[in-house]
Structure 1
Amino acid sequence: MKMNWGKGIVIGMVCFMLFIIVMVVAMFSQPADDYDKQYYEKGLAYDKDYKRAQQVIKDKAQPVIEFKGAEALIHFRTPVKGQVTFARPSDRNMDEKYDLDVDSENTAHIPLTRLKTGQWQLTFEWTANNNQYLYKKEVYLP
C-alpha cells in the first residue's frame, strides 16, 4: 500500500497531539506539591527552634524512646509538659499529635494503635524547669 505525504503528516500530528494529551492528564493526576506552605513563618522562628534544640543538648535532656507492645514509652529525666508529633513522611494525612502526660517515673505512654507500621518522624516539644525544648528523631514502628 502506497502512502502519500499528506497522510503521514496527519498521522504524525495526531500521534503527537495524543502524546501531549496523555502527558497533560498524567501531570494533573499527580498529587499537589508537597512543600511546606508556612516556610516563611518557620524561617522567622528558626532561631527560637535552634535555641530549644540546643537546650536539649546542653541539659542532656534527650528523651529515651522504647516500644512495648502497642504503646511507646518515652522516658524523660524530669517532669515535663508538652506534646509529641508523629509525622509520616509518605502521607501527611496520617500525622498524629499526642500530649506528653508523664507518670510518677517521668514516663509518657503513647498508644500506637492508630499508627501504621513504617517510618515516622517524631517531634517532641516540651517545657521543664522553666526551659523549652525541641527534639526530633526518626523511628521505625514495628
Structure 2
Amino acid sequence: MKWNWGTGIVIGIAAFMSFILFLVIKMTTNEKFSFDLVTEEYYAKEMLYQTEIDAETNTYNLKEKIISKKTNDGWLLIFPKELEPSKIIGKVFLYRPSNEKLDFNLELKLTSSHLLIPDNKMLDGRWNIIIDWVYQDKHYLYKKEITY
C-alpha cells in the first residue's frame, strides 16, 4: 500500500476520534468524578420559573436594593427601609456549588432591617444566596453569588 498525504490525514483523524472516544468513556465510567445535579427536581422547578421571574422583578422594582456584604461576624444582609421588617415572611437559602452537604436554610424572622448569617455557618469560598420572601401578599426573590 502506498502512503500519501490523504492516507495520513485519514489515519490522523481516526486516531484523534479514537482518543476523544476513549476520554469520553473513561470520564463517564470513572467513579472518582461525581456529577451532582444543581437541583434534584429540575423539571418541576423549571415549570415554576415564571413565578421566580415575577418575584425577581418585584425585588428589582423596590426603591432601595438589598445590601449584601461580608463583616467580621459573618455575612450581613440589609433589607430596604421601605419594608417593615416584622411583616417579612420567608426563607434564606445558602447554596454551596462545590458541596451540597454544606447547603442550609434559615427562617426569615426579622426584628430590624438587618439579618446576619453567622460566621460559623459559612466556610470560605463561593456561595449562592437566595432569599425568598412575601411582604403584604407580594412575592419577592433575591439571588446573589458571593465569595466568602
TM bin, normalised by shorter chain, reads: 0.7 to 0.9
Give the paired residue count: 118
Match of 1:96 in 2: 104
**Segment drifting more, 71-80 vs 86-95:** 71-80
| C-alpha distance in structure 1 between counterparts of 2:44 and 2:137, whole Å | 25
Pairwise mapping of residues 50-65 of structure 1 onto structure 2 (< 5 A)?
A: 50-60=53-63, 62-65=65-68
Summarize deviations over 1:55-111 as a string: whole Å, max 9, x none. Answer: 11122453111222122221112122211111111111111111222223x111221
**Are residues 37 and 127 of structure 1, via their aligned partners in 2, closer, same or farther at CA, if it must alter by over 3 Å?**
same
Alpha-carbon separation, structure 2, partners of 1:44 and 1:61:
30
Secondary structure class of the residue paired with 1:62: coil
Q: Does 1:121 align with 2:118?
A: no
- Gapped runs of 5+ residues in structure 1? 1-22
Partners of 2:120 and 2:62 lie apart in 1 by: 32
What pairs with 1:17-96 in structure 2 (closer than 5 Å)? 23=26, 27-31=30-34, 33-35=35-37, 36-60=39-63, 62-77=65-80, 78=83, 79=85, 80-96=88-104
Q: TM-score, normalised by structure 1?
A: 0.72
Q: Percent identical across equivalent pairs?
A: 24
| Whole-Å separation in 2 of the counterparts to 1:135 and 1:34 | 24
Structure 1 residues 109 and 28: alpha-carbon distance in aligned structure 2, compared to 1, 3 A threshold: closer
TM-score normalised to structure 2 length? 0.70
Alignment RMSD, CA only? 2.2
Three-state SS of the structure 1 residue aligned to 2:117 is: strand
Counterparts of 1:110 and 1:59, CA distance in 2? 23
For structure 2, the residue ranges without an aligned partner over 5 or more in a row are 1-25
Q: Give SS of 2:30's match.
A: helix
